[in-house]
Amino acid sequence: METNMENIIETLNGLLSSRQYAKIRSLLEDSNPADTAALIDELFGDDYEQEKNFLILFRLLPKDDAAEVFTYMEPEMQEHLISAFSDNELREFLSQSFIDDTVDIIEEMPANVVSRILANSTTGARKAINEILNYPKDSAGSIMTIEYINLHKDMMVKEAFETIRKVGINKETIYTCYVTENRRLIGVVTVKQLFMADEEAKIGDIMESNVITVDTTDDREDVARMFSKYDYLAIPVVDSGHRLVGIVTFDDAMDVITEENTEDFARMAAVAPSDESYFKTGVFKHMLNRIGWLCVLMISATITGILTEKYNAVFTALPILVSFMPMIMDTGGNCGSQSSVLVIRGLALGEIEFVDFFKVVFKEFRIGILVSSVLALVNGIRIYIMNGHDIRLSITLCISIIFTVILSKLIGAALPMLAKKCRLDPALMATPLISTIVDCCSLLIYFNVAMKIFNIA
Amino acid sequence: METNMENIIETLNGLLSSRQYAKIRSLLEDSNPADTAALIDELFGDDYEQEKNFLILFRLLPKDDAAEVFTYMEPEMQEHLISAFSDNELREFLSQSFIDDTVDIIEEMPANVVSRILANSTTGARKAINEILNYPKDSAGSIMTIEYINLHKDMMVKEAFETIRKVGINKETIYTCYVTENRRLIGVVTVKQLFMADEEAKIGDIMESNVITVDTTDDREDVARMFSKYDYLAIPVVDSGHRLVGIVTFDDAMDVITEENTEDFARMAAVAPSDESYFKTGVFKHMLNRIGWLCVLMISATITGILTEKYNAVFTALPILVSFMPMIMDTGGNCGSQSSVLVIRGLALGEIEFVDFFKVVFKEFRIGILVSSVLALVNGIRIYIMNGHDIRLSITLCISIIFTVILSKLIGAALPMLAKKCRLDPALMATPLISTIVDCCSLLIYFNVAMKIFNIA
């Protein structure tokens, strides 16, 4: 793949400089739009000096591919192309692209480019674009498209085929058709069903009338998850009056799932999520994405530290205790993050709901007892053997571990669900935050147990 | 949704006990297969006493739905149904389900059930099932299906439509058709293209002849990611001789992406991944999934502790140092996990390759410098003010933080890539492992810096 890419780029550069445009055209004809876009991005990178060249390249693309290739390009490249387009070019280009793709592009563009795009869209398209742009960022409405096939229940199958032939070319998907009656959705029929039905059959008789729909305001992640549940190609989006306003297609759903997962991974690592890929994000931006949480966590860790100051007496009397601090803190942190991450994932996949709160907490409690007993046993024996058979020391550690583990499992399970309840992203309650909270508790447990057992005042 | 479910279940229970089967049938007719499956699972849970009842319920399902409903059920339920089926029932049932679904079921079943399934499959099906079962667990071959539409390049479009009408009903997707010449894949054509083409046109002339394919042995996650790149409905799977052996459909790709993400989340939290959902996994199994890594990490944390013992002198002379241990350790751990998780995600999405090793490490190095300077500054000032203007103490902390942060960023970035290079799952190198490694380094840095600055021998 990589090397292959390198070769093509070399060839292209050669052909460009020697102006062998026919060769370039035929070379691009065979390439898949997604690959072509990657190619152009790779070819010019951030070197917009070459603007002339990539305009030429873009104009050499097969007409029907151009719009699709464009949607796959990096925003910077898109912006440069649009500003290089003549209004005519832009108009023709927009007429060939799907509304939802245009919306995606608009969302990445600066105001002046946006207004130019809108100015050059048809009145209908402009209206649709604005509507979609007005839906909340993470709603079903914001990822839907309005280009679906609309049938009437009194049509015959063969008429439906005619309609599909006539209007299909500009529709994002033709494989699921929607049956409406004065704009209200009354059924769906798939092209497969049409094929299997009699040519004379009425759409109303073969359509599936109990349709699974989503509201324009539904969360886009929930909508995306419905695709993996029902294996649909598209899901219709309806407004409060059950009027069909658009459809969400499986490819958008896939992108949503990937984006949402990436966001969760970032949040779980105390990084502010960003849409940019790792390399596209500059060093300074990376710093900004990470510094916020680090400061918060550093301060909370400082509080932990200040609390431990009170126990100077304990570890000056018994310095050996200090050497177990890392083990206690890490074990607590790890147990907490195990529980929190599993619960966060369960919430994301809809396997766990807030109603399960006590079920989950009780389960983690029992798991905590099992886990902690094993860890305490292993550790207790090791310490007894390796630290001069000091039974009091190993008892101190065993008790501390048991309390720490159980507590951290409970905290790790509870916080994400409470976050969800408070409409926060549960992913925020993952490893880093949990471990700082747990650290504090575990050290307090540890030192107090030690004080009791070694009766240090 | 939830409450809605409760009501239906109540109604169903009522209807079952009062034997109103007609009512049940009509109730099930309107329900989507995925929902029906969830319903049956919910209705009987683990209560297999009710076997008679759920057999009745299953037999009341619309014939064409039954097979699909079955594929959505929990393995336990599937096993019980199969053993309750008569051979005739099983045969008819298998004839209605897709090969890849049957394979998924088989993978969950005990040997005796498997042999019964194979015994009751047609010779062709059995052959196909065995082939698919023989592909490595995470390969494209293991998730493909053999039920695709096969066209010939000399066919006319209208003949193609005829073929689709004839064989379409048993095909997993009819919307992408594959053109082969003595079993070698020479092109694809979508139903949309067929609709837009002239009825008399030859398939060979309208088909897309440069096809994107995957090998049977390709990694299923890479294949799944191709779907989000190309927005395909299906990707053809070819063998070493470029012969078409099957197709992977988008719905299987979606499942793969979700499974792989869930696995990564688990590994990142030092939990052994399991296919079972959170609640389906028993307390004891949960313990087993978590205890392994906890022990490993506990031991490495113990080593950290033992290393710190050498510095007794330092913190008995200067107990205040102990109170900064949590802050140093947590900050290091958090910085490390930020880098590791971003790199792990980048590797999973193919944004980062091993060839970028030095590019990434250098980037993290620069980020580390920025981040650490900010943290050191904030912290240094705070400590200077809050700890009696002890300049040596704040300098100690500043230096320790700078070294700790940069080091942990480098480790966090490097380990996942090295893991990938060694064919290990990069996700294993996430937060917990990183933080234990970083803890050790950071404490050594911290105490040595302190010894130098306070010149304690």
d(CA A193, CA A178): 13
Q: Which residue of B has its CA nearest to A363?
A: B283
- C-beta atoms of B352 and A278 within 8 A: yes
Q: What is the pLDDT of residues A284-316, one digit of tens each?
A: 888 888 888 888 888 888 888 888 888 888 878
> Are the CB atoms for A441 and A408 separated by under 8 Å?
yes
Is the model's pLDDT at A44 over the cut of 80? no
Shortest CA distance from A439: residue in chain B:
B326
Give the residue carrying structure tokens 């002046």.
A112
Chain A residues whose CB is inside 8 A of the B312 CB are 319, 322
In Å, how far is A88's CA from the nearest CA of chain B?
Answer: 26
Q: Are A334 and B164 in contact (CB < 8 Å)? A: no
Are B394 and B381 contacting, i.e. CB atoms less than 8 angstroms apart?
yes
Nearest to B41 by CA among A224, A417, A351: A351
* A325's tokens: 């601090």
- Confidence at residue A239, expressed as pLDDT on a 0 to 100 scale: 87
b or e along B366-402 (b: 16 or more beta carbons within 10 Å of the residue's beta carbon)?
bbbbbbbebbbebbbeebbeeeeeeeebbbbbbbbbb
Strands (DSSP E) along B176-331, which ranges?
176-181, 184-190, 214-215, 234-238, 244-249
Alpha carbon B79 to chain centroid distance? 24
Q: What is the DSSP string of A373-433?
A: HHHHHHHHHHHHHHTTT-HHHHHHHHHHHHHHHHHHHHHHHHHHHHHHHTTS-GGGGSHHH
Contact A306 B287 (CB under 8 A): no
CB atoms within 10 A of CB B432: 29
Q: How far is A123 from chain B (nearest CA, A)?
A: 27
Ranges A110-114, A180-184, A247-251, B19-23: which has the least confidence = A110-114
Nearest-neighbour CA in chain A from B43: distance (Å): 17
pLDDT of residue B179: 94
**A188 pairs with which residues across the strands?**
A178, A208
Q: Which two tokens stand for residue B35?
A: 């929902």
CA dihedral A39, A43, A48, A49 (to 10 degrees): -150
Contact A331 B32 (CB under 8 A): no
Contact partners, residue B68, CB within 8 Å, separation at least 6? B33, B97
State yes or no: ipTM above 0.85: no
What three-state secondary structure class fits B234? strand
Residue numbers in B near A258 (CB within 8 A): 228, 257, 349
Residue B256: closest CA among B229, B300, B286, B219:
B219
Rounded to whole angstroms, how far apart are CA atoms A182 and A189? 18
Give contacts of A321 with chain B, Cβ < 8 Å.
none
What's this model's pTM, rounded to 2 decimal places?
0.78
- pLDDT one-digit tens code per residue, A166-213: 888 778 788 999 999 988 999 999 999 999 999 899 999 999 888 899
Contacts of residue B147, Cβ cutoff 8 Å, sequence gap at least 6: B98, B99, B100, B170, B171, B172
- Over the range A212-225, which residues count as b (16 or more CB within 10 Å of their CB) and which as e? eebbbebbbbebbb
Instruction: Choose the closest CB to A287 out of B258, B305, B371.
Output: B371
Cβ atoms B254, B178 nearer than 8 A: no
Subunit contact B340:A269, Cβ cutoff 8 A: yes
Is the distance from CB of A40 to CB of A58 less than 8 angstroms? Answer: yes
**Partner-chain contact B315 A322, CB within 8 Å:** yes
Rounded to a whole number of angstroms, the distance from the CA of A409 to the nearest CA of chain B is 11
Q: Does A349 contact B258 at a Cβ distance shorter than 8 Å?
A: yes
What beta strand segments (E) does B191-338 contain? 214-215, 234-238, 244-249
pLDDT one digit per residue (tens) for chain B, 457 residues: 445 777 888 888 888 888 888 888 888 887 888 888 888 877 776 665 666 777 788 888 887 788 888 888 888 888 888 888 888 888 888 888 888 888 888 888 887 888 788 888 887 788 888 777 888 888 888 888 888 899 999 999 999 999 998 888 778 788 999 999 988 999 999 999 999 999 899 999 999 888 899 998 899 988 998 888 888 899 999 988 888 988 999 988 988 988 888 888 888 887 888 878 888 888 888 888 888 888 888 888 888 888 888 888 888 888 888 888 888 988 998 899 889 888 988 988 888 888 999 999 999 999 999 999 999 998 889 888 887 778 889 999 999 999 999 999 999 999 999 988 888 888 877 767 888 888 888 989 999 999 899 887 6
Q: Are B326 and A305 in contact (CB under 8 A)?
A: yes
Work out the pLDDT band at A32, boundaries 50, 70, 90.
confident
Amino acid identity for residue A254 in this structure: M
Are A346 and B278 within 8 A, CB to CB? yes
Length of chain A equals 457
Residue A84's CB: how many other CB atoms inside 10 A?
A: 15
**Measured between CB atoms, which of A254, A337, A436 is closest to B228?**
A254
In chain A, which residue's Cα lies nearest the Cα of B286? Answer: A367
Nearest-CA residue of chain A relative to B344?
A265
Residues in A touching B322 (Cβ below 8 Å):
308, 312, 315, 322, 325
Cβ-Cβ contacts under 8 Å, B264 against chain A: 265
Non-local (6+) Cβ contacts of B284 within 8 A are: A370
Tokens of B377: 């500054």
A32 to chain B: which residues are within 8 Å by CB? 210, 212, 230
Verify whether the Cβ–Cβ distance A342 to B284 is below 8 Å.
Answer: no
Residues 6 or more apart in contact with residue B346 via CB below 8 angstroms:
A277, A278, B352
Cα A242 to Cα A183: distance, rounded to the nearest angstrom? 9
E-only strand ranges, B131-259: 149-151, 176-181, 184-190, 214-215, 234-238, 244-249
Put simply, the answer to whether B326 touches A335 (Cβ < 8 Å) is no
Tell me the C-alpha distance between A372 and B294, whole Å: 10
| Min distance A155 CA to chain B CA atoms (Å) | 18
CB within 8 Å: A228 and B251:
yes
Tokens 């600055």 belong to B453
The pair of three-digit structure tokens given for residue A450, joined into one six-digit string = 């030690």
Count of pairs with CB atoms under 8 A, one residue in A, one in B: 331
| Partner residue opposite A301 with nearest CB, options B306, B326, B337 | B326
Q: Whole-angstrom distance between the N-terminal and C-terminal Cα of chain B?
A: 68
